[in-house]
Amino acid sequence: MPPAYPSRREFAGALLATAAAPLWSRLGCQTPPSRKLGFALVGLGNLSTNQLAPALQRTRYCRLAGIVTGTPAKAERWKAEYGIPDESVYDYATMRRMAQNPDIDVAYIVTPNGLHAEHTIAAARAGKHVLCEKPMEISPERCEAMIAECERAGRQLAIGYRCQFEPHHLECVRLTQEKTFGPVRLVEAGFGFTIGNPNQWRLDRALAGGGPLMDVGVYALQTARMLTGEEPTLVTAVETKTDPVKFHSVEETLAFQLTFPSGVLASGVTTYNAQGPNDFTAFAERGSFGLASAYGYSTPQGRRSDGEALRFDPTDQFAVEMDAFAQCILDDRPTTVPGEEGLQDVRIMMAIYQAARTGSAVRLA
Ligand code: NAD
């Protein structure tokens, strides 16, 4: 039988009920941690450098204990900046030796999408819990292999869905689930940006799995699934390209529609060739609500059609996400964002690509 994960709704409710409390007590623990879990960052690119390493300094249950990098100069910089000992510095070929390092409890996989399985499996075989960035991988089969390996190792696998810990997003889940404006009938969500350097891995299907849908459109998909608490049964999609040279390997702009069992229709857009969109709106029978700047790292701006405030204090989404995972490990509870959650998004994104390719609706089981 699959493990009984707490539903997103239960978790969201618990987190929201104490939104004004300190971060660590909001996450369910009233006493300071007896020990902080050691996190190793696997891949020291933009996200690790600019978000995760600083966020780790703000966590209550985690600490930066190790690094995995293919660039010796980066290793030297990080060792000096964060006081990481030589024995906790690895490259991708030696990371399995983390098995002999009790100071590292969790490997946080922050490499290109198409390397997540390789690095997750290496970390699980070294006996480490794994937090893996979104999208989980570039095919359902690879996601399944990651889940299987972590299960075999008896270690937890979580996906880095930071918005599932962000109070504005959670409030929108509450407004939907409690039908504050009546039943939600339509969700519109979009996330995109103008991508720069044409030679980066994000434009290479082998490493990225796809274009903006895999990278940032997944946030719009997450919003639709989080708000409804349902799984889509029918998918349609269209794709357009204005620059077939730059976007020869992945899509440039894509729109998709999802139909949910309750009849909710979700409409999503994503692009690598326009600034924005970055917001969502839920339209219900008696009004609407949503977030502007919904998916960035800073605080979203909430809006409700009845004029009431939808506003919470700024949250470091990465710190909350890592603390939540650490607490699950420390308390021996299953994560609320397991590999199965990442797998489901990858399955739906593959259906979206199929719908765009064929021009036909794709039915999901
Ligand atoms: P990045 O390109 O800045 O960093 C990737 C790192 O992987 C680099 O250190 C690079 O050296 C390393 N790497 C190892 N093998 C590589 C190879 N064969 N080719 C290219 N790079 C290789 O990317 P990033 O923006 O840090 O993204 C990393 C992951 O984090 C991606 O899966 C991305 O989707 C995810 N991400 C998530 C968020 C979020 O908000 N949760 C934001 C940005 C990125």
Q: Which tens digit of pLDDT belongs to each residue from 134-184?
A: 999 999 999 999 999 999 999 999 999 999 999 999 999 999 999 999 999
Which strand (E) or helix (H) includes residue 56? helix 53-57
Ligand 1 in contact with 211 (CB < 6 A)? no
Ligand 1 in contact with 49 (CB < 6 A)? no
- The DSSP call for residue 143 is H
Closest C-alpha residue for ligand 1 atom 2: 45
268 DSSP β-pair partners: 189, 256
Report how far ligand 1's centroid is from the alpha carbon of 29 (Å).
Answer: 32
Q: Is 140 left (phi over 0), alpha (psi -120 to 50) or beta?
A: alpha
pLDDT of residue 195: 98
Residue 365: pLDDT band (50, 70, 90) is: confident
Active site residue 90: no
Report how far ligand 1's centroid is from the alpha carbon of 107 (Å).
Answer: 14
pLDDT of residue 16: 44
Closest C-alpha residue for ligand 1 atom 44: 47
Ligand 1 in contact with 50 (CB < 6 A)? no
Q: Is 357 helix (H, G, I), strand (E, B) or coil?
A: helix
| 268: its two tokens | 């999503």
Q: In the predicted model, is pLDDT for residue 326 greater than 60? A: yes
Determine contact, residues 346/140, Cβ cutoff 8 Å. yes
Q: Looking at ligand 1, which atom is closest to the CA of residue 318?
A: 41
pLDDT of residue 33: 67
pLDDT of residue 35: 84
Provide the total of helices (H) and of strands (E) in the chain, helices listed first.
13, 14
pLDDT of residue 276: 87
Ligand 1 in contact with 209 (CB < 6 A)? no
Ligand 1 in contact with 113 (CB < 6 A)? yes
The active-site residue, picked from 134, 272, 295, 353, is: 134
Q: In the predicted model, is pLDDT for residue 297 greater than 60? A: yes
pLDDT of residue 19: 39
Rounded to 5°, angle at Cα 10 from 7 and 14: 145
Ligand 1 in contact with 110 (CB < 6 A)? yes
Q: Which tens digits make up the pLDDT trace of 9-63? A: 444 444 444 333 444 444 444 445 678 999 999 999 999 999 999 999 999 999 9
Report how far ligand 1's centroid is from the alpha carbon of 181 (Å).
Answer: 40
Ligand 1 in contact with 217 (CB < 6 A)? no
Report how far ligand 1's centroid is from the alpha carbon of 35 (Å).
Answer: 29
Report how far ligand 1's centroid is from the alpha carbon of 183 (Å).
Answer: 39
Q: Which tens digits make up the pLDDT trace of 96-129? A: 999 999 999 999 999 999 999 999 999 999 999 9
CA dist 233 → 98, 140, 340, 345 (Å): 42, 17, 17, 13
Q: What is the mean pLDDT of residues 250-264?
A: 98
Q: How many residues does the chain have?
A: 365
Q: Environment class of residue 150 by beta-carbon count within 10 Å: exposed (0-12), middle (13-18) or buried (19+)?
A: buried
Report how far ligand 1's centroid is from the alpha carbon of 47 (Å).
Answer: 7
Residue 4: pLDDT band (50, 70, 90) is: very low
pTM: 0.93
| 55: its two tokens | 């966020």
Active site residue 134: yes
